[in-house]
Amino acid sequence: MSEALINRLVEFAESGNQQRIVLNGQSHQGWIMEITEDALLISTGFADKSGKDFWIKFDDMNQAELYYWDNKNDQWVEFKI
């Protein structure tokens, strides 16, 4: 994994209040919890009982749409890698 891609994903994780990843018709909205050498972990719930964690491989990121919540404008903003 290139260092540039990892840096962009860290920037994405730090953008906005929440992040949303749309991949293969599924939307995962929550918080980026971890970034490894080949994947990122997004947590999608408010409590242990209702939340789920999803690992998304970097190989799949080319097909994903990334968004973050912009509190200032109260809207989702697309994030380009």
Q: How is the chain split into domains, by residue range?
A: 3-74
pLDDT computed for residue 18 by the predictor: 95
Tens-digit pLDDT profile for residues 38-77: 899 999 876 556 778 999 998 898 899 999 999 999 999 9
CATH class held by domain 3-74: mainly beta
In the block, residue with structure tokens 């408010």: 46
Helix segments in 1-81, DSSP class H: 3-14
> How high is the pLDDT of residue 46?
66
Query: Rounded to whole angstroms, how far apart are CA atoms 41 and 81?
Result: 17
Say whether pTM exceeds 0.85. Answer: yes
Query: What confidence score (pLDDT) does residue 62 get?
Result: 86
Tokens of 20: 């949303």
Asked whether residue 7 carries a pLDDT value surpassing 80, the answer given is yes
Q: Is the pLDDT of residue 25 over 80?
A: yes
Going by their DSSP bridges, the two strands 75-79 and 39-43 should be labelled as unpaired
